[in-house]
Amino acid sequence: MDILAFIHWNVSPEIFTLGPLQVRWYGLLFALGFLFGYNHGEKMFKHENIDPKWLESLFIYLIVATIVGARLGHVFFYGWDYYSQHPIEILYVWQGGLASHGGVLGIIIAMILWSRNVSKRSILWVLDRVVVPSIFVAALIRFGNLMNSEIYGVETTLPWGFIFERNHETVAKHPTQIYESLSYLLTFGVMLYMYWKTKAKDYQGMLVGVFFIMVFTARFFVEFIKEDQEAFEATMSLNMGQWLSIPFIIIGIVLIVLAIRKGPVYYKNLEVKEVKGKK
DSSP string, 51-116: -HHHHHHHHHHHHHHHHHHHHHHHHHHT-HHHHTT-GGGGG-GGG----HHHHHHHHHHHHHHHII
What is the per-residue pLDDT for 2? 52
What is the per-residue pLDDT for 247? 95
Q: How far apart are CA 21 and CA 30, in angstroms?
A: 17
What is the per-residue pLDDT for 269? 47
Write out the H or E segment, with its range, that includes residue 184: helix 176-197
Q: How far apart are CA 118 and CA 107, in angstroms?
A: 15
Q: How far apart are CA 70 and CA 105, in angstroms?
A: 8
What is the per-residue pLDDT for 69? 86
Nearest CA to 111 out of 199, 190, 258, 211 is that of 211
Write out the H or E segment, with its range, that includes residue 124: helix 123-147
Q: Contact, 163 vs 170, CB < 8 A?
A: yes
Residues in the chain: 279
List Cα–Cα distances, 30 to 4, 19, 133, 240, in angstroms.
32, 22, 13, 24
- Residue ranges for the chain with pLDDT beneath 70: 1-4, 94-96, 268-279
List Cα–Cα distances, 94 to 25, 71, 97, 111, 209, in angstroms.
13, 10, 8, 25, 32
What is the per-residue pLDDT for 113? 92
Q: How far apart are CA 240 and CA 75, in angstroms?
A: 13
What is the per-residue pLDDT for 4? 55
Handedness of CA 25, 228, 82, 249 (dihedral sign): positive
pTM: 0.83
Query: How many of the other CB atoms lie within 10 Å of CB of 40?
Result: 18
